[in-house]
Amino acid sequence: MKKILLLSLPLLLSARIEWLNSYTEAIKKAQTANRPILVFIESEYCSWCKKMKREVFTKTEIQRIINGNFIPLKLDKDRSSYPKELSVKLVPTTIFLTPEGKKFTRSVLGYWEPKSYGSFLSDAIRRYKKFSSKVQ
Amino acid sequence: MKKIALLFITIVSIGYSYSAKGMVTYKKLCYSCHGPAFKGAAMMESHEWRSLFANKATGLKALHENSQKAIERLNSSYFNRRAQALENFLINNARDKGIVRGCDGLNCG
């Protein structure tokens, strides 16, 4: 049984991204899991956002990084409710939050292809480790 | 007229090769840790790159004091010879300068 679980771990991690749509739910989940939140902000008529969803969030490497390190939250710039600190000029924007909802590193502005986006994610993970070790 | 065109082409190609040189330098020295070149440049704003490269890149070296491998590269003569080209490439493609592929209002760049 244990073996089966272990063998299926990589598969589980590379499963599709289960985006939350509620800010408060994401905060709750992040605090329980003690993980940072990745907020992907999009809008209805945003072709670059669609390209991100089609070409980046479908890649197993990206899914593995996100599922293994973040609580993923997807918000609509115009329709979702969220604190005003998350207001953006440009979509897509990816924002990184601590479980308390504070930004701990720079946001990713616009569309980036998988390799670059993955590198931004690694930077954010590194920054979070540094940030949380300082706080505690 | 021909002369002016020739001069123009020369200037443009010098400018181009200058930034290409910076990009090649990035690939040799920074890519392995920071990923693709335009992503690397977009980590910082242009004024931040300027101050990181000031005084023989003191700031950039300080950022990497915990990474022996990065320090070796930043102290190499290759880096010293190409620091200016690298700085130009990074500044021209910084967060506040590069092309952002996103939508701002109804305008998708």
Task: Decide if A111 touches B, using CB distance below 8 A.
Answer: yes
Q: What is the mean pLDDT of residues B50-63?
A: 98
Residues of A in contact with B108 (CB under 8 A): 45-48
Look up residue A72 and give its amino acid: P
The answer on pLDDT for A135 being more than 60 is yes
Q: What is the mean pLDDT of residues A38-59?
A: 97
Average pLDDT, chain A: 92
Task: State the pLDDT confidence band at A3, using cuts at 50, 70 and 90.
Answer: low
Q: Is A30 exposed, middle or buried (0-12, 13-18, 19+ CB in 10 A)?
A: buried
| Cα–Cα distance, B43 to B49 (Å, whole number) | 9
Class of domain A17-135 (CATH, top level):
alpha beta
Task: Decide if A130 touches B, using CB distance below 8 A.
Answer: no
Contact B101/A89, CB-based, under 8 Å?
no
Distances (CA, A) of A61 to A16, A116, B32: 11, 12, 17
Task: State residue A133's pLDDT score.
Answer: 86
The answer on pLDDT for A119 being more than 60 is yes
Task: State residue B108's pLDDT score.
Answer: 85
| Cα–Cα distance, B54 to B87 (Å, whole number) | 10
The answer on pLDDT for A2 being more than 90 is no
Q: Is B77 exposed, middle or buried (0-12, 13-18, 19+ CB in 10 A)?
A: exposed
Residues of B in contact with A119 (CB under 8 A): 34-36, 39
Residues of A in contact with B98 (CB under 8 A): none
Residues of B in contact with A54 (CB under 8 A): none
CB B24 within 8 A of CB B88: no
CB B103 within 8 A of CB A90: yes
Q: pLDDT by residue (tens digit) across A72-114?
A: 999 999 999 999 999 999 999 999 999 999 999 999 999 999 9
Look up residue B53 and give its amino acid: F
Distances (CA, A) of B39 to A90, A123, B3, B93, B100: 17, 11, 38, 9, 11
For residue A49, give the chain B residue with the closest CA: B102
Task: Decide if A121 touches B, using CB distance below 8 A.
Answer: no
- Chain B residues whose C-beta is within 8 A of a chain A C-beta are 34-36, 38-39, 42-43, 95, 100-104, 106, 108
Q: What is the mean pLDDT of residues B24-48?
A: 98
For residue A106, give the chain B residue with the closest CA: B43
- Rounded to a whole number of angstroms, the distance from the CA of A33 to the nearest CA of chain B is 28
The answer on pLDDT for B9 being more than 70 is no
Contact A119/B42, CB-based, under 8 Å?
no
* Cα dihedral value A57, A49, A43, A63, nearest 10: 10
Task: State the pLDDT confidence band at B94, using cuts at 50, 70 and 90.
Answer: very high
- Rounded to a whole number of angstroms, the distance from the CA of A46 to the nearest CA of chain B is 6
Cβ contacts of B54 within 8 Å, gap of 6 or more: none
Task: State residue A9's pLDDT score.
Answer: 58
| Cα–Cα distance, A32 to B3 (Å, whole number) | 70
Residues of A in contact with B38 (CB under 8 A): 116
ipTM: 0.86
For residue B106, give the chain A residue with the closest CA: A45
Residues of B in contact with A110 (CB under 8 A): 100-102
